Structure 1
Amino acid sequence: MLMNSYSKMLAHALLFFSCFAAPQCLLAQQATKQPVKVIFDTDMGPDYDDIGAIAMLHALADQGELEILASLASDAHVDIAPTIDLFNRYFGRPAIPIGEADRALAPNFTAKTDWGDKLIRQFEPSLKNKRYTPALDVYRKVLAAQPDQSVTLITVGFMTNIAQLMASGADAYSDLSGMELINKKVKLWVCMAGGFPQGREFNVFKDEKSSYAVFPHFPRPILFTGVELGRHIKTGGKVAATKDSSNPVSVGYQINLPVYLDKPDTDRSSWDQTAVLIAARNPEQYFYVSGPGKFKVEKDGSNTWEPTEEGQHRFIMHKYPYQVIADVLDELMLHRPKK
């Protein structure tokens, strides 16, 4: 009986590795130098690890590892979409489609430092109060135009936009429902959310209604990076220490580190950056990956992990000392745009 159980575990582990390392999956993209097609969905504001995440996103795109199809705001505050826009422009990609969250459905607030407003006024004041295409429209239009099973979703915020997409019907962009469109076009969802093996994490409970609707029914594999993982990976001090007033990444950390931490040039936890890293690169290069299971969400936004062979969900765990990963993230966050 023990050997049978072990054989089953080994078989499922091999199946998992075939999903993440076989020619059709992530490792193949590294080997063949094909960039991972991503849609980046972020709250961009309640905290400021989003700054590091979007800097990494563009660094990896400049290195040919990612293709950024769209960037979406999951927080409905008026400054969120313009802040995304200013970073895209700084890194030389002003044409990336940007979607804004539904102001009747999504959480609507910003950081206590109001850093988004400060960056907009310093770097792109013309974007202040600009309105953008609804996130749902951007999702449906971009997904419909992509090859089947080719898109990786990265969410580092609330589930509002995903819930809208899943509930959507056919429209001018596609005859498919939202669920059908996801099932046809999405390869993987990398999600910074939850706590493992249990928790009640901000990205999940802040819009608990959407989270409760999304996770049990999302039709494609989900790879989670939980709150306990990024908490111990500290970055940002190096980019702040450059004191570069022409770089919104550096300025963003300069604004925030002295307020959130005791010393201005120390570091901050790196939750969102881990999602970008494992979307672009084979996650096993940096972390252990769990076996299959189900991420179960309650109506109050709390979650538990249920290991099960039938589950399409997995989460990552620490493999190396925290500083090893921090050094990888900091190097990408220090990247400057191509001229």
Structure 2
Amino acid sequence: MGHLYTPLVLLWAMYGLIAARSARMVVIDTDLFSDVDDVGSLAIANVLHGCNVVNVTGIAINTHSKYGALAASVINTHFGNLDIPVAAIRPLSNHTFFDIYAFRSHGEYAAKLAHNWPRSINDSSMTPTPVSLYRRVLSSAEDNSVTIISLGFLTNLATLMDSHADAISPLMGRFELGKDVISGAGLASLAPSSSPIRAAYEWYVGRCSTLRESWDPITTLYGILGLEPHPELGIGKTFEYANDFGYNWVSPDGSNAWVNDSRVTNQHWLKLTDLTTNTSLAIASPG
């Protein structure tokens, strides 16, 4: 194996021991509520925020349940990052998750986290809206200095694009803006029973398992780490571009397809480097 990957729980123990780079500013827009991989994403972001690798300037929830923002607050609080603001889409609902699509063992976790772990947010209705969070962060940042990691629905970003000048910023929103990798195995053996991350995976996956596909955690890793290796984290070069040209075409029904067009060179899809396997990437994700 060409790289040594440090498990997430060990990175957490290395707070303050990793030399700080120029931290990338990131906003995570997440549908934290149903699938548990969003919990893994926020765990990764919190650990790397604590290691000064990234500056998470906000978490925007794009699902309407009030428990999304509360669960995000639990995760931030668990990692000691009370400085990370959380914004909740409106209107808010009291809905809890129920797997009506597959009727499998996927269980509810967001409300359980909110009711069983400490959090700094008592009421989701007191949080800012995602658009106000975006406008505040983007208006005070340099051009091209903020990375938005979008996980789930695009409602918040669409609303931002349609927003108008206000007291925060005179600019309109338009100017502001492979195979499965299964992770989570190490949570059961390495994370303490008091960990809300472990509990969320166990509640969602069911039958005391913590194994889950890693769509959102991998997106978060790329959004924060990019294409470069991070030897201070024990992480080598993980991703590379798989194309030189082309673009993603989104149809009116929401489906998408890659179009090979040599005139477009600013869009890319990713692949793992030759020295990275699904297993080694899973080890770098939660667990």
**Is the pair's TM-score, using the shorter chain for normalization, greater than 0.5?**
yes
Change (3 A) 1:124 1:32: closer
- 1:257-281: per-residue Cα shift (whole Å, max 9, x none)? 225xxxx335211000111111222
Q: Secondary structure at the match of 2:45?
A: helix
The structure 1 residue matched to 2:47, chosen from 16, 38, 59, is 59
Give the structure 2 partner of residue 288 of structure 1: 240
Give the structure 1 partner of residue 195 of structure 2: 247
Matched ranges for 1:155-304 at <5 A: 155-182=150-177, 228-229=178-179, 232-242=180-190, 244-258=192-206, 264-265=208-209, 267-283=211-227, 285-289=237-241, 290-304=243-257
Matched ranges for 1:1-339 at <5 A: 33-103=21-91, 110=97, 112=99, 113-124=107-118, 127=121, 129-131=123-125, 132-182=127-177, 228-229=178-179, 232-242=180-190, 244-258=192-206, 264-265=208-209, 267-283=211-227, 285-289=237-241, 290-308=243-261, 309-319=263-273, 320-329=276-285, 333-334=286-287
**1:238–1:265: 8 Å Cα contact kept in structure 2?**
no
Shift of 1:103: 2.9
Q: Which moved more, 1:46-55 or 1:90-99?
A: 90-99
**2:198–2:210: 8 Å Cα contact kept in structure 1?**
no
Q: Secondary structure at the match of 1:314?
A: coil
Which one has a larger percent helix, Structure 1 or Structure 2?
A: 1
- 1:63-94: per-residue Cα shift (whole Å, max 9, x none)? 22100101110111121111111111111122
- 1:123-143: per-residue Cα shift (whole Å, max 9, x none)? 037856531211111110111
The CA distance in 2 between the partners of 1:45 and 1:111, in whole Å, is: 10
The CA distance in 1 between the partners of 2:112 and 2:210, in whole Å, is: 21
The CA distance in 2 between the partners of 1:97 and 1:86, in whole Å, is: 12
RMSD: 2.5
Shift of 1:32: 8.2
The CA distance in 1 between the partners of 2:50 and 2:210, in whole Å, is: 27
* Structure 1: runs of 5 or more not aligned: 1-30, 183-227, 335-339
The CA distance in 1 between the partners of 2:69 and 2:221, in whole Å, is: 22
The CA distance in 1 between the partners of 2:98 and 2:50, in whole Å, is: 29
Give the structure 2 partner of residue 12 of structure 1: none
Shift of 1:111: 5.1
**2:37–2:214: 8 Å Cα contact kept in structure 1?**
yes
Letter in 2 for 1:241: S
The CA distance in 2 between the partners of 1:312 and 1:168, in whole Å, is: 26
Shift of 1:299: 1.6
- 1:153-179: per-residue Cα shift (whole Å, max 9, x none)? 111111001101111111111111111
Change (3 A) 1:153 1:126: closer
Aligned residues: 249
**1:73–1:80: 8 Å Cα contact kept in structure 2?**
yes
More relative contact order, 1 or 2 (CA 8 Å, 6+ apart): 2
The CA distance in 1 between the partners of 2:147 and 2:188, in whole Å, is: 30
Q: Once the two structures are aligned, what percentage of the paired residues are identical?
A: 26
Shift of 1:62: 1.8
Shift of 1:246: 2.2
Q: Secondary structure at the match of 1:82?
A: helix
**1:100–1:134: 8 Å Cα contact kept in structure 2?**
yes
Letter in 2 for 1:291: D
The CA distance in 1 between the partners of 2:20 and 2:115, in whole Å, is: 41
